[in-house]
Amino acid sequence: MAATTIKGATELPAVTVTGNVKPTPPGDTVSRDWAARSPEMHWPTTMLNGAAEIFTHNQIEINASCVTVWDRLVQAEAWPQWCPFSGKVQIWGGATVLQKNSKFTWVSSDLPQDIPALGNVSAPSPEKVDSVVTEFDPPNRLGWRSYGRAWTIHGPLVDSYHNWYIKPIGAKKCVVTFEEVATGLAARYARGAYPELVHVSHDDWLQGLKRLSEIRK
């Protein structure tokens, strides 16, 4: 399988694919999202998302300014109030919002790690992931790398990158693109068992962000 490299303006840590990925019949959610991926996104260089087990592309229009949407998004510890697939968010160092190089821990249930037949896994807290913000360009671009705390002989159970682009299309209107690439045993299992789950969860995330951002104060 040919590797696809999408270069952004900023050099970011690379994401590597774990294991051998078996060809998947065309037409599943991951394949359709990969075909619909946005050319405007910034990705870590040498990122092999064309061969990754999970790739999602979601997009929504929000009737609010980029600044308003950004302000809601970077308040990570408030995510569980409007995003059902996230929980127990804790930003390290006492910060209240995400910043450049912020580290945070959270429960990301859109890609479950409690999968059957794990074997050789050390998991002090398998439901949590540790993340670090690698792209931070207010009020337009946000990206973070996440690792699951459970490990296999091949590395972390899940290794993912969340990628956001908030693009203005009017004075108080923007389009938000949200993409994610994930590799690892948990991602491989999800691709076979429920390839649509991450896409559906990200759609809920965007719908929640839209509702929150469009509230008139």
pLDDT per residue as tens, the chain (217 positions): 333 333 333 343 444 444 444 444 467 899 999 899 999 999 876 555 566 889 999 999 999 999 999 999 999 999 999 998 888 899 999 899 999 999 999 988 766 655 554 444 443 344 789 999 999 999 999 999 998 887 777 777 888 999 999 999 998 999 999 999 998 888 888 888 888 989 999 999 999 999 999 997 5
Structure tokens at 86: 């996230």
Q: What angle do CA 7, 35, 14 make, to 5 degrees?
A: 30
Largest CA distance in the chain: 53
pLDDT in tens, 125-142: 447 899 999 999 999 999
Candidates 153, 159, 73; CA nearest to 113 is: 159
DSSP annotation of 77: G
What pLDDT is stored for residue 194 in this prediction?
84
What pLDDT is stored for residue 62 in this prediction?
98
